[in-house]
Amino acid sequence: MAPDISNGLAALDGPAVGMNDGSGALPIFDVERVQLQFSIAADFVAAQVANNVLVLALSNGRILRIDLNRPEDIDDIDLPKKPSEIGVIRRMFLDPTASHLIVCTGGGENYYLHSQSRQPRHLARLRGVPIESVAWNPALPTASTREILVGASDGNIYETYIETSTEFYRKEEKFLKAVLKLADGPVTGLWVDILPGRGETRRVIVATQSRLYHIVGKVGKGHDGSGSIYTKLFDTEEPVVHELSGSTTGGASSLVVSPEAQDASKSYEDMAPDRAYAWLSAQGIYHGTLLTNATGPELGNKVFADSRLLPRSQLAAAENTGRRKSATEYIDAIALTQWHIVSLVGNRVVAVNRLTGAIVYDQVILDPGQKAIGLCVDLQKHTFWLLTGNEIFEIVVRDEDRDIWKIMLGMQKFDAALRYAQTSAQKDAVAIASGDHLISKGLFIEAAGVYGKSNKPFEEVALTFIDNNQPDALRKYLLAKLGTYKKSSVMQRIMIASWLIEVFMAKLNSLDDTIITKAELSETLNPAQTEEQLSTIRSEFQSFVAKYKSDLDKQTVYDVISSHGREEELLFFANTINDYHYALSYWIQRERWSDALKVLKRQTDPEVFYRYSSVLMQHVPSEFVEVLMRQANLKPRNLIPALLDYDRNYKGPLAQNQAVRYLQYVVNNLNSTDSAIHNTLVSMYASHPSRDEAALLAYLESQGEEPKFDPDFALRLCIQHRRVLSCVHIYTNMGQYVQAVELALRHDEIDLAAIIADRPMSNPALRKKLWLAVARKVISQSNGIRTAIEFRKRCDNLLKIEDLIPFFPDFVVIDDFKDEICDALEDYSRNIESLKKEMDESSATAANIKVDIAALDHRYAIVEPGEKCRDCGLPLLSRQFFVFPCQHAFHSDCLGKKVLEQAGVGKSRRIKECQVQISKGLVSGAKREAMIAELDSLIAADCIACGYYAIQRIDEPFIKDGEVDEWAL
């Protein structure tokens, strides 16, 4: 009959009963009764829990599947047959994912139920097999069980593969094979896991009432249940056996494994995620760790060697139960948490720390005569359950690793203790104890790192290392201690960092002395090893300086390192803190120019270059200029003093002058427009001892008509240093052609003077004057008149022979230039004839003009009686009018209006002024007549129909907007 289910399971309630450790914290273990919110018509006979799913078997053959996340939802499942036919449910096995359930009845029938199904399926091949234990596949599949091991009460171990099938003719289990036969009774426990990093290697643990087997080996390859994979393992590998001594009869037997570690980093065995196991036997609880750091039989031997037995008598003889217990009382069931063994002893729940064996919880839970059906563990969700025939209890575990650090500390497992220490005080206690232990063993360097993380008095630790002559340990301690201080502890950090500088220097000097003397530092350290250690210490020092440079006082470090004479470390510190001035000064003072340039190449601060430019230009000019040319952020103006100082002392050729080279780079590549740069370059060109002006002239010509240098300054320099060609070029660019020609002629540069004289093409008078000056110089230097006559032809006949005659000597034979004089006279004759002809033409033109003027007095126009004004269309004779020679006629007022519309602003204003003054009688007499004449001349200056005004209106259309189109055909 189905149970009466209302609301499932209620929230956990009930009083907490447990042992308080006196610290005020809640006890690690409590047992809480779960209040059932449904009524059942039968007792519980079996139970399993996994992945927050609780499965209960009832004596009436029904199965309840409860999701603990939603306890109000309960699946009520019936077995295919009644208990009267197949027997009461004896055992159930639920895999860790809660996907697969195997149900075993007292009649030898076995059923399989998948989490997605409500119909248990009969396992035909397993009929008659009394299952005592199941080892699920370690891969935890959900669709099928894949290969699993089943332990029977007859000592056989079977391998099978179960999957859900909806087809009637297909069986649930794909195959069933007996892989091992044990002769020592039922197989009470099975466990299979995969060793990390070895996917085909499996570990199988088998438990009976008297023996524990550990087997490791490779399994065969199977594919979707095609065959057995464990046969190879059991056939080829010999198990490691742990056997009980003495009598083994009586008592329960089972094998349990601890849940998966919630935080794998907190495993106390070499930080590997090893799980614990416990084997319940007649003698007690044999427990240990499932190690994974070995292979084959060695792994089994190591596991059993590290395991211990918790005697049954230790749990039976409890003192806080209020009554004496028999030492022969058996343990009914066990479960493993991460650090404790939970046991059901009679009606008591006892929890023992598996590291120390100490009982941390012992409480009577069950009523007299009440019997438990088992302890259940959810391996994935870390929950623990105790069930009786009609009640459910949850064993609550709270912060069970809070005292593990203290236990590890007592076992001198300091690394593990430090991992489990939770508060700073706990961690400090572990560190101090660990350091003291290492000191007692003489492991000073190891102790230094531990002390550095503790709060043990600084002076005490430092004196310990000093008294024992352990500078390396002291160095390590100071480094560790420095890392623990906050940035706000400025004084402490500076003092420790400064002390470390002294310690490092002493160590480096000691190693250098050892290498120099070729002596052995110790019995086990030869000179080669000493050199290697020297390199290591130097690297350590450099790393220290780079990391803690902000905690080092610059002057103190300089003083300490200098006192030890450590040049390399001194410069490394200076470079690390970007004190390049110190490094440069150091190398420059020792005149090690190449080293100074190496430091300078890494600089970007322009001030560094300006500061050391003078001394570097004097000693390594070429290399320094190379460095300067790679710096784009410099102001070349600031380098001028150093360049001038170098140029002043330079005696070589101009092509190798490094100051000139740099200035040329600035001018040509950087396109500098700074007049100071250009003036400096001009001064260097001009002041060079060489008389060759090619470089200076090339520079001046490259500047064009708008030079960047100061022409006056350049001219003074060129005059001072007698740079004639350059002076002439500057004069010419300044437009001072006369001075340029005079200077060229003064230095007999006649060809240059001639070129300059031809420059002012827009000023013929000046051009002629310049050519005359050149001609005078040529005539004064020539040996004959013929040379001067030939020179005259160079100026494109700009000069005439009469212009040159005054320059000839007083006594010159005319025969030498008779032909030129004749040519000049013939030219004059032709010019006279041309001028005479032009005069005659002008006289004729004047006479014609007089005739035209006389004819104007007799010019007239005929106006017909019916002629109309061209503007208004009214009769022309109705009022004053104007008639033009083109025969267009207008009323005077109409013409005036049209002229005002099209005339300019000034002319319009004047016309209006005249009209106002005449109409209002503001003028009279001769002035009035003159103004009328002026007004007529302004209005009637041109015909508005065909004259200038008409031309101005050529862009206007014939037909304007709103007018009738008279041109339409």
Q: Are 384 and 394 in contact (CB under 8 A)?
A: yes
Cα distances from 897 to residues 598, 900, 905, 935, 959, in angstroms, run 91, 5, 14, 13, 20
**Which tokens sit at 287?**
């427990």
Q: Are 690 and 683 in contact (CB under 8 A)?
A: no
Q: Are 148 and 159 in contact (CB under 8 A)?
A: yes
Q: Nearest to residue 97, comparing CAs of 30, 49, 129, 147?
A: 49
DSSP string, 697-736: HHHHHHTTTS-SS-HHHHHHHHHHTT-HHHHHHHHHHTT-
DSSP string, 358-393: -EEEEEE-SPTT--EEEEEEETTTTEEEEEESS-EE
Give the pLDDT of residue 630: 86
Using CB atoms within 10 Å of the CB of residue 583, give its burial: 0 to 12 exposed, 13 to 18 middle, 19+ buried. buried
Distance CA 634, CA 651 (A): 27
Q: Nearest to residue 803, comparing CAs of 813, 816, 788, 814?
A: 788
Q: At what angle do helices 658-668 and 675-687 cross, to 10 degrees?
A: 140
Distance CA 21, CA 359 (A): 11
Q: What are phi and psi of 470, to 5 degrees?
A: -125, 75
Say how many C-beta atoms besides its own lie within 10 A of residue 881's C-beta.
Answer: 18
Distance CA 765, CA 769 (A): 6
Give the pLDDT of residue 23: 55
Q: Nearest to residue 383, comparing CAs of 265, 264, 266, 259?
A: 259
DSSP lists the bridge partners of residue 158 as 150, 178
DSSP lists the bridge partners of residue 135 as 149
Q: What are phi and psi of 448, to 5 degrees?
A: -60, -45
Residue range 329-371, pLDDT digits in tens: 788 999 999 899 999 998 899 999 988 888 989 999 998 888 9
Distance CA 587, CA 230 (A): 77
DSSP lists the bridge partners of residue 2 as none
Give the pLDDT of residue 440: 84
Distance CA 30, CA 16 (A): 5
Cα distances from 357 to residues 45, 352, 353, in angstroms, run 32, 6, 5
Amino acid at 862: I
Chain mean position to CA 713 = 55
Residue range 685-706, pLDDT digits in tens: 888 878 777 788 788 778 877 7
Distance CA 539, CA 533 (A): 10
Distance CA 312, CA 329 (A): 8
Distance CA 401, CA 354 (A): 12
Q: Nearest to residue 218, comparing CAs of 194, 191, 241, 196?
A: 194
Distance CA 279, CA 256 (A): 7
DSSP 51: T
Q: At what angle do helices 925-939 and 905-919 cross, to 10 degrees?
A: 140
What number of helices (H) and strands (E) belong to the chain? 34, 31
Residues contacting residue 852 through CB under 8 Å, at least 6 positions apart: none
Residues contacting residue 470 through CB under 8 Å, at least 6 positions apart: 444, 445, 448
Torsion (CA) 230, 235, 236, 238 in degrees, nearest 10: 100
What global pTM score does this model have? 0.58
DSSP lists the bridge partners of residue 243 as 211
Residues contacting residue 66 through CB under 8 Å, at least 6 positions apart: 8, 9, 53, 54, 55, 56, 73, 74, 75
Phi-psi category of residue 579: left, alpha or beta, with phi > 0 → left and psi -120 to 50 → alpha:
beta
Residue range 589-616, pLDDT digits in tens: 878 888 888 878 877 778 888 888 888 8
Give the pLDDT of residue 796: 55
Angle at 228 between CA 226 and CA 229, to 5 degrees: 110
Distance CA 597, CA 607 (A): 15
Chain mean position to CA 855 = 101
Q: Are 640 and 666 in contact (CB under 8 A)?
A: no
Distance CA 686, CA 701 (A): 15
Distance CA 599, CA 584 (A): 7
DSSP 816: G
Q: Are 156 and 148 in contact (CB under 8 A)?
A: no
Angle at 233 between CA 231 and CA 237, to 5 degrees: 130
Q: Are 553 and 498 in contact (CB under 8 A)?
A: yes
- Which pairing describes strands 121-122 and 4-12: parallel, antiparallel, or unpaired? unpaired
Q: At what angle do helices 444-451 and 424-440 cross, to 10 degrees?
A: 170
Give the pLDDT of residue 744: 62
Chain mean position to CA 670 = 34
**Which tokens sit at 847?**
């006479």
Distance CA 512, CA 112 (A): 79
Q: Are 110 and 123 in contact (CB under 8 A)?
A: yes
Give the pLDDT of residue 822: 63
**Which tokens sit at 816?**
């030498």
Regions of the chain short of the pLDDT cut 50: 1-8, 10-19, 22, 264-272, 318-325, 327, 521-522, 805, 811
Say how many C-beta atoms besides its own lie within 10 A of residue 702's C-beta.
Answer: 10
Give the pLDDT of residue 703: 82
